[in-house]
Amino acid sequence: MTGTHAMQDVIAIVGGTGPQGSGLAFRFARAGFRVALGSRSLERAEAKAAGLRERGAAHITAATNAEACARASLVVMAIPYDGHDQLVQELSPHLSGKIVVTCVNPLTFDERGPIGLLPGDSSAAETAAALLPESAVVGAFHHLSAVALNDPDADLSDQTVMVAADDEDAADHVAELAGAVTGARGVCIGPLRLNRHLEPLTAALISINRRYKTHSGIALAGVPDGPPVRR
């Protein structure tokens, strides 16, 4: 699995009509990447893609989720956790040999607010990897506010995209790709199992946002510029 991809390659966004998916699609397309905006409904995808193009993201086309995956060299899974396993299995024939980035956050809510849904020995990313043995699964983009992603004036350059993967080439590529979204290279934090900590951390950000009426993110201090030293 190589981390070298040309700008003309297509990025697919599965679940692209949702807030997180549309925000990532908007940022990637505005940075010059070609984006296939996927949805279960082609009609919804076409409507969302047209709206994003009107806002200046010219390189977005609409597709079903399967069609978007088939067109792309890299796929972003921006879907709810409910139904996650079934959808990943359905799309698996179109994902072999590709980098699959998941920003899925398995959360639940009760009267006290949000909390991580899965136990500490599991994550959505690891489940996806088990279902996609021929793909390089990467966890990233979990902690970026959907509201900020969709705001063309929002500056995300002070926010850190943490990247976890077992394939180091894929991790390096996604960390570099994060710059198209935030303006700053992502940080490779280690193997895919660390998604067990990244995914539920989103619950803390949601709680902060509710308490302070804001759109918070994560910023890591003390990390040097440039790619990480390989393990």
* Per-residue pLDDT, 42: 97
Place of tokens 């692209």: 16
Q: What mean pLDDT is reported for the chain?
A: 94
* Per-residue pLDDT, 228: 80
Instruction: Let me know: does 209 contact 215? Beta carbons within 8 Å.
Output: yes
Instruction: Let me know: does 183 contact 160? Beta carbons within 8 Å.
Output: no
DSSP secondary structure string for all residues of 133-172: TTSEEEE--TTS-HHHHT-TT---TT---EEEES-HHHHH
Place of tokens 């070298």: 4
pLDDT tens, position by position, 53-104:
999 999 999 999 999 999 999 999 999 999 999 999 999 999 999 999 999 9
β-bridge mates for residue 138, sequence order:
101, 165
* Per-residue pLDDT, 5: 43
| Antiparallel, parallel or unpaired: β 162-165 and 187-190 | parallel
pTM: 0.94
* Distance of alpha carbon 217 from alpha carbon 177, whole angstroms: 18
Closest of 125, 42, 119, 139 to residue 88, by C-alpha:
125
Closest of 105, 45, 113, 44 to residue 79, by C-alpha:
105
Q: What is the DSSP letter of 22?
A: H
Instruction: Let me know: does 128 contact 137? Beta carbons within 8 Å.
Output: yes
pLDDT tens, position by position, 138-151:
999 999 999 999 99
pLDDT at 6 over 60: no
